[in-house]
Amino acid sequence: HSPRWSQTEQLEQESAAQLQQVKSFRHPQVQLVSRQYFAKSDALRYGLPDYVESSVIGAGSTGLEVVLSVVDPALWGQVNAAEKHLDYSKAQKNHLRMELEFLTLAQYLAVQKAIQRVKNSDESVQRARAILALAQTRLKAGMGVRLDLMRAEVL
Which residues face 56 on adjacent strands? 40
pLDDT digits (tens, 9 = 90+) for 106-152: 999 999 999 999 999 999 899 888 888 888 888 888 777 777 777 77
* Secondary structure class of 62 (helix, strand, coil): strand
Torsion angles phi and psi, residue 42, rounded to 5 = -120, 110
* pLDDT tens digits, 38-89: 666 666 666 666 665 656 666 778 887 777 766 677 777 888 888 888 888 8
Q: pTM of the prediction? A: 0.46
**pLDDT at residue 41, as a whole number:** 63
Give the pLDDT confidence score for residue 90 in this predicted structure.
86
List Cα–Cα distances, 117 to 66, 110, 123, 126, in angstroms: 75, 11, 10, 14
- What pLDDT is attached to residue 80? 83
